[in-house]
Amino acid sequence: MRLPQLGELGQRRLAASRVAVIGAGGLGAPVLSYLAAAGVGSLTVFDPDVVDATNLHRQVLFTAADVGRSKAVAAGEHLRAQNPDLSVTAVVEAVTPTTALEQLNGHDLVLDGTDNFPTRYLVSDACELLDVPLVWGSILAFAGQVSVFWGAGGRGVTYRDVHPVPPRPGEVPSCAEAGVLGMLCGVIGSTMAMEAVKVIAGMGDVLYGRLALYDALSARWDELPIARDPQRPPVTRIEDIAVTCGLPGPTAPGTDEVEPDELPALLAAGTRVLDIRESSELADGMVRGAEHVPMGRLLDPAEADDPELAPQGLDGAVLYCAAGTRSASTQRVLSERGIRVRSLRGGFAAARGSGIELVSVQRSEADRPGQHGSDASS
């Protein structure tokens, strides 16, 4: 209240605002905590996942007692304890192409702290259609990025102007696979919360048309100017790009997991084991007897005409990726299609660490989709 740039008017604007936060993970935790403490009147928290013990180093809104609980529900309870006057709506489901516009409509501001590209494009497109400002943040290892996107009726910059083409499945690792330092989440998440307060209160120089880049190892902020691509057509509908760029996935484990030491017996019994990594990831080899089917191909509905990828051929198969994240996501997507598969806990890294027999893969063979690991050895 004593800050002239904010003052009583700014505080009233915060109290009257309705804000949606997509993801209650590493970025969502500080975002939610600071917005609740700042006096934002209403928060909607979207997160379909549960708290996992491996999340706690970076998702500081939760405690060990929350492990196994819904992130959205647990976050709501902690935020109400922090600010009893706060109205919190916990949504234990993902924002989807069919529900995004309805779910986000009526909010004054949206913050996206997710770690997968389909949701990032989806939320940006929905905000452009609804003409709602979007505070966006991203983290990986020791680096972070923050910006504020706003379509502004075709005049402003959105996520698609900065990243017009989604990456291919497996091209960019998730935090669960590449790692992230917990304190980085605090830096970027707090910056996102600061930008949100600036947008709502109407103060300061908001990060419109600017991309802030943070390097934790050098403690240095850099900035890139960004502009709307005049050749980009405006968004007119919500597009589902989950198949084309894949799902780095939830931070929680798969719903039906196989332990690495169970894999040899399953292979001996004739269970299909699918390596869903990209060809570029096979330099360290494959599990002997596994088949290479990249995630994008596995999730492509058009591939269902292939007898090997038909639902009856996939049922009961075990999937593995680099660290278990993408296989858990793929398992969930296939489950929604009525196909039961299992995910290898810890992925290829766990298989290699447990002494499971591996085979090396030649690049020319690795580029052939659906190749058996035992046939692709050099």
Residue 115's nearest CA partner among 183, 189, 221 is: 189
* Cα Rg of the chain (Å, integer): 22
By the 8 A CB rule, do 140 and 118 touch? no
Taking the CB of residue 195, how many other CB atoms lie within 10 A of it? 24
Task: Please give the Cα distance from 211 to 200 (Å, whole number).
Answer: 19
What distance in Å separates the CA atoms of residue 244 and residue 209, rounded to the nearest whole number? Answer: 27
Mention every residue, 6+ apart, whose C-beta is less than 8 A from residue 34.
Answer: 189, 190, 193, 194
Contact 371, 291 (CB under 8 A): yes
Give, for 148, the enclosing helix (H) or strand (E).
Answer: strand 143-149
Cβ-contact 114, 120 below 8 angstroms: yes
Alpha helices (H) in 147-255, listed in sequence order:
159-162, 175-178, 182-201, 242-245
**What is the enclosing helix (H) or strand (E) of 146?**
strand 143-149
Under a CB-based contact definition with an 8 Å cutoff, are residues 62 and 74 in contact?
yes
CA distance 74 to 92: 10
Residue 110 region by backbone torsions, left for phi larger than 0, else alpha for psi between -120 and 50, else beta: beta
Residues annotated catalytic, as ranges: 175, 321
